[in-house]
A and B are shown apart, each in its own frame.
Chain A
Amino acid sequence: MYGGSQNDGNSLFSGGGFMPSQATQTPDSGVSPAKSRGTQGVLPLTVKQISEAFHSSDDKSGFVIDGVDASNVRLLGMVTKKMERVTDVSFTLDDGTGRIDVNRWVNEAAETNEMAAITNGMYVKVNGNLKGFQGKRHVVAFSVRPVTDFNDITNHFLECIHIHLCNTRLQYSAPSSMGGSENDIYNLVLGVFQEPASVASEHGLHVDEVARRLGIPMNKIKDAINYHVDIGHIYSTIDDNHFKSACNG
C-alpha cells in the first residue's frame, strides 16, 4: 500500500487546500512569514500523540511530534457533545485513543451546511490547526467530513503509524553516521525527559522507553543519558534505568 518511492512521510500529505482559512486565523503572520506551512501538509495523528506532543511555550502554536512541526493535523474519530452556536460549532472528537475538543468557525453557508450534516455518534475526518491555549489543546477545523467508507478508519490509523515510523526511524537512522548527529541525539533524549508527561511521572522514564520513543540504538541513548547526568540535566531515580529531568517543566 505504501510502497514505491514515497519514503518521506511529509511529501505524502503536502498540498492541502487550506490556505485561505489559515490566513484569516493568523493575521499576525508577519512574526514568522518564513514558516512555510505549505510544505508541511497535514499530519495524520492520534489524540494520544497530541496529548504527548511537545509544546514549546514561546511559540504560539509550536507543537512538535516526532521531530516534525505539527500545526496542521488530520484526525479521525467519533463526534460527541456537538454544540452549535451562531458563529461556530464545537464538538469533542473521540478517536479511541483519547478525546479532544474541535472548533469550526462557520462564516459561509457552505460551512454551515457542512456542519449541520454532522451529528453525534458519527465518524468524521477532521483537518485542522492544532492550538494550545493555557495548557489545553484543541483543534480549529478547516474541514469536518463524514466517513462514508469505514475502511478509512483502518487507513487513517495505519497512516498515523506509517508517518510516525517515517519521522522517527528513517529520519534518525540515516544521518547517524554524520558528524554533529551526536548533539542531535543528546537534544532528542533531553527532549523526551522534559516532556510534561515525563516531568510529571514520579519515577521518571525508563531507558527502554526513551529508546523506543526515539527509535535510536540503545548504546547511543545510554551515551546521551550519561552525558546529561554528568552535566546535571537529569538524575537517576529508583534504579539505574530510570531517569528524570532536573528541571520541573
Chain B
Amino acid sequence: MDTSSPAVFVNGELLKVHQGRRVRAVVQVSRADGPTMVGQSTDGHQLFVKGSPSLFPPSHFVEVIGIADGGGSIRAEICTDFGTSFDAQSYNQLCVLANGELKSLFI
C-alpha cells in the first residue's frame, strides 16, 4: 500500500498545474521529432513527450506516464499504446473530474 507518488490524470491545460509532479496523459501521436514525440492532448493542446522509449505510429493514442516539465512537455517513464479507437473526449472529461471536486478519489 503506497500512495506517495500518484500519477494524476491530466490534459494539456491541467498539465501546467502539475509541473514537477508525476502525471499521466493520453496523446494522439502526430510526429516524432528526434527523441521527442509530438502529439495532441485530449483537449487539443500540443504536447511534447521526451524520452519516449519506443516509436509509436502516427494517429495512435499513447498513454504517457511521467514527470510534467514546463512548456507542455512530459518526461516519459512508461508509454502504452492505446491503439486508434480510443475515446479521447471521455478521457478528457475524466481528467477534469479527477482534478476537480472528486480529486480526493485520485490524489
Contacts and interface: CB of A to CB of B under 8 A. Distances in A.
Interface stretch (B13-21, B67-75, B93-101): B93-101
A124 to B, nearest CB: 12
Interface stretch (B30-38, B44-52, B80-88): B80-88
Interface residues of A, number: 31
B56 interface: no
Contact of A161 (B63, B85, B91, B97): B97
Contacts of A111: none
Given A154-B91, A157-B9, A161-B102, A98 B3 contact: yes
Contact of A51 (B3, B63, B90): B3
Size bracket of the B interface: 20 to 34
Given A151-B87, A158-B94, A137 B1 contact: yes
A160 interface: yes
A125 interface: no
- Which interface residue of A47, A49, A154, A161 has the most chain B CB atoms within 10 A? A154
A101 interface: yes
Interface string A27-57: 0000000000000000000111111000000
Contacts of A50: 1
Given A154-B90, A160-B105, A97 B3 contact: yes
Contact of B6 (A78, A96, A213): A96
Given A46-B106, A150-B86, A154-B90, A96 B2 contact: no
Given A48-B3, A97-B106, A98-B2, A157 B94 contact: yes
A85 interface: no
Contacts of A164: 102, 105
23 contacts: A47-B1, A48-B3, A50-B1, A51-B3, A96-B7, A97-B3, A98-B3, A99-B2, A100-B1, A121-B80, A149-B85, A150-B61, A151-B85, A154-B91, A155-B90, A157-B9, A157-B94, A157-B106, A158-B97, A160-B105, A161-B105, A212-B104, A213-B104
Interface of A: 46-51, 78, 96-101, 121, 123, 136-138, 149-151, 153-155, 157-158, 160-161, 164, 212-213
